[in-house]
Amino acid sequence: MKKSLKYKYRNELEVLPFLLPGFILLLIFIFYPIAKNFYMSLSDYNIFLDKMNTFTGIDNYIRVFKDKMFWDAFINTAAYAAVTILPQMAIGLILAIIINTKIKGSFLFRILFYIPVITSWLIVSLIFRYLFESGDAGLINYLLLKANLIQTSISWFSNRWTANAVIWILAVWKGIGWNMVVFLAGLQGIDRSYYEAADIDGANIIQKVRFITIPLLKPVTFFIMTNLLVGSFNVFTQVYVMTNGAPMGRTQVLLSYMYKVAFTDFQIGYSSALSVVVGVFIFILAMGQQKFLNMGYKEGQL
């Protein structure tokens, strides 16, 4: 009996030593922090002394859902996802298609469009803050005034939605290059014979894009979308640097709000509860997307 059991799991037993290092790392760096974070969220935690002051149970979680600032941050994050994902995908796709058509200097364009992607978030955030400076001394205001598009200069960072708009513009500008490169990889995987056949049928360029390129890019499109959606919930640097929540916390996103609650207000327990809520939300979102993505792959196969 014992012997047969050992025999049955022989393969597994042999692999075990190889799995162990990875499993231990996972335990230390992923599972332990998650468990500790959850433990902290049940109390008024003192980060300095690393101990619970008072056990508060689910109070912090109740507070999350009543917190107006949290909902503002949630809406800003959702708006960021809703507004920035499609434009950067669309522009990225168009650029990829153009560059894929063996035009002169396509290599150069590929590099130029990719430069924003590898530039530091911190630096471009600072540059954007200066570009969108209030008053007519800000470059963007100056240009808009010169072009007679606006009559008085805009105080970009003084209003919730204009400040958000700057955050979005930066995200799209910085994201296009990555979209383009991934789409380009997808395009190069499409067999040229489809296009040749379409040529014979007399299809024009729009028709070729509409009926060959886009359907065949479906798996890539889903891949990009998942990445951008999950990425949207990780937006932090540009908000922290450009607005830091101003005016009145109305441009705060989930991560920057969590950071403020934890490291400016020292409300470690509450910020842990916030991060649990956000973590669960992202988990559900990613799972939903995964289902969707699998579906996309299946449909994309010809």
Partner 1 sequence: MTLKKLLVGLFSLLLVAGLAGCKADPKPVSGKVLFWHTYSEGEEALFLEEVVPLFNEAYPEIEIESVRMPYDGLKQQVITAYTGNVAPDVMRMDIVWVPEFAKQGILEEVSAFDEFSDLKDNFFAGSLSTNFYNGKYYGLPLNTNTKVAVYSKAVLAELGMTEAPATWDEMIALARTLKASDDRWGLTPQGFGPWGFLPYFWTLGGKVTDDEYSVATGYLNSADSIAAVQQLYDYYKEGLIGPAMFGEQPDAWGGMAGGNYLWIDDGPWYFSIIGQTAIDSTIVSTIPEGKGGSVSVVGGEDLVMFNKSENKDASWTFMQFMMTDEVQKIMAKTGMIPVTQSAADSLTDVPAYVATYIEQLKTAQPRTPSASWGSIEQVLSLAIESVFRDEKTVTEALNDAATEIDALLK
Stretch that binds partner 1, among 79-87, 132-140, 271-279, 289-297 (CB under 8 A): 132-140
Please, what is the minimum distance in Å from the beta carbon of residue 120 to partner 1?
17
Phi, psi dihedral angles at 288 (to 5 degrees): -60, -45
Phi, psi dihedral angles at 59 (to 5 degrees): -50, -45
Which lies closer to partner 1 via its Cβ, residue 106 or residue 244? 244
Q: Where are the alpha helices (DSSP H) in the chain?
A: 2-8, 10-26, 32-41, 59-66, 68-100, 106-118, 121-131, 139-146, 160-188, 192-200, 205-208, 214-216, 218-232, 237-242, 254-263, 268-300
Which lies closer to partner 1 via its Cβ, residue 39 or residue 263? 263
How many residues touch partner 1 under the rule CB under 8 A: the total is 21
Please, what is the minimum distance in Å from the beta carbon of residue 247 to partner 1?
7
Which lies closer to partner 1 via its Cβ, residue 266 or residue 281? 266
- Using the structure block, give the residue that is written with the tokens 């489809």: 194
Q: Interface residues for partner 1 in 133-162 (CB under 8 A)? A: 133-135, 137-138, 155, 157-158
Which of 176, 280, 297 has the alpha carbon at shortest distance from 233? Answer: 280
Q: Interface residues for partner 1 in 248-277 (CB under 8 A)? A: 248-249, 263-266
* DSSP reduced 3-state for 49: coil
Please, what is the minimum distance in Å from the beta carbon of residue 33 to partner 1?
14
Q: Verify binding: residue 62, partner 1, rule CB under 8 A.
A: no
Q: At what angle do helices 218-232 and 68-100 cross, to 10 degrees?
A: 150
Q: Interface residues for partner 1 in 74-93 (CB under 8 A)? A: none
Which of 295, 85, 93 has the alpha carbon at shortest distance from 209? Answer: 93
Please, what is the minimum distance in Å from the beta carbon of residue 158 to partner 1?
5
Please tell me what DSSP assigns to residue 44. Answer: E
Binding mask 22-61 for partner 1 (x = CB under 8 A): ------------------------xxxxx-----------
Which lies closer to partner 1 via its Cβ, residue 88 or residue 267? 267
The residues that touch partner 1, with contacts defined as CB under 8 A, are 46-50, 133-135, 137-138, 155, 157-158, 246-249, 263-266
